[in-house]
């Protein structure tokens, strides 16, 4: 690896930091880069013998919650809050994890990390990207005019048009994925 650079993603899950590199610079945002933080979705799997939607299908229940809320176009913070609450109230007290012990806490930060970077819930990530575009459009719009002169600020107009063009490409791409 060239000096002063690091991999964006590490397929070994632990990073590929050489002895000279700072290991923190080699971590990606995925759950595998945070082995000291509990993630229910990473630590457990759906029970193939459990009837879908029953109490014995804890994993499937949470997975369905995410998928249902995502299909309803719910915002990311609402999905995160619902998963966190459902885990805390319905599942946490039933878990005895060999690494994290009895009733391990699953933080919102860890839930956000999994929903965003795991590839398990691609619709949630796509919805998050769409929300980023909405926020960018709003920010450009709020800074579009010079208050003193009432004139359009050309750099903001150009940035807005560029953002909208990219957003339209994103929407077309997302529509193709959902076919």
pLDDT in tens, the chain (179 residues): 567 776 666 555 554 444 444 455 556 788 888 889 999 999 887 777 766 655 567 888 899 999 999 989 898 899 999 999 999 999 999 888 899 999 999 999 999 999 998 889 988 888 888 999 999 999 999 999 999 999 999 999 999 999 999 999 999 998 888 77
Could you report how far apart the first and last alpha carbons of the chain are, in Å? 40
Distances (CA, A) of 119 to 123, 151, 161, 171: 9, 44, 30, 19
**Calpha distance 113→3 (Å, rounded):** 29
Measured distance CA(177)–CA(175) in Å, rounded? 5
Per-residue pLDDT tens for 30-81? 888 888 999 999 988 777 776 665 556 788 889 999 999 998 989 889 999 9
Calpha distance 179→159 (Å, rounded): 31
Q: Which residues contact 166 (CB under 8 A, 6 or more apart)?
A: 133
């Amino acid at each position: 690896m060239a000096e002063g650079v690091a991999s964006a993603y590490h397929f070994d899950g632990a990073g590929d930091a050489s002895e000279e590199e700072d290991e923190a610079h080699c971590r990606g945002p995925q759950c595998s880069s945070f082995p000291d933080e509990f993630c229910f979705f990473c630590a457990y799997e759906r029970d193939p013998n459990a009837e879908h939607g029953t109490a014995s299908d804890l994993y499937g229940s949470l997975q369905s919650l995410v998928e249902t809320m995502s299909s309803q176009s719910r915002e990311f913070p609402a999905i995160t809050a619902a998963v966190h609450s459902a885990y805390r109230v319905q599942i946490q007290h039933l878990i005895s994890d060999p690494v994290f012990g009895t009733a391990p806490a699953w933080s919102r930060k860890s839930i956000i990390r999994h929903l965003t970077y795991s590839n398990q819930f691609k619709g949630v990530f796509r919805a998050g990207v769409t929300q980023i575009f909405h926020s960018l459009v709003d920010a450009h719009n709020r800074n579009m005019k010079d208050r003193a002169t009432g004139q359009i600020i050309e750099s903001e107009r150009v940035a807005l048009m560029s953002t909208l063009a990219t957003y339209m490409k994103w929407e077309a791409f997302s529509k193709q994925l959902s076919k």
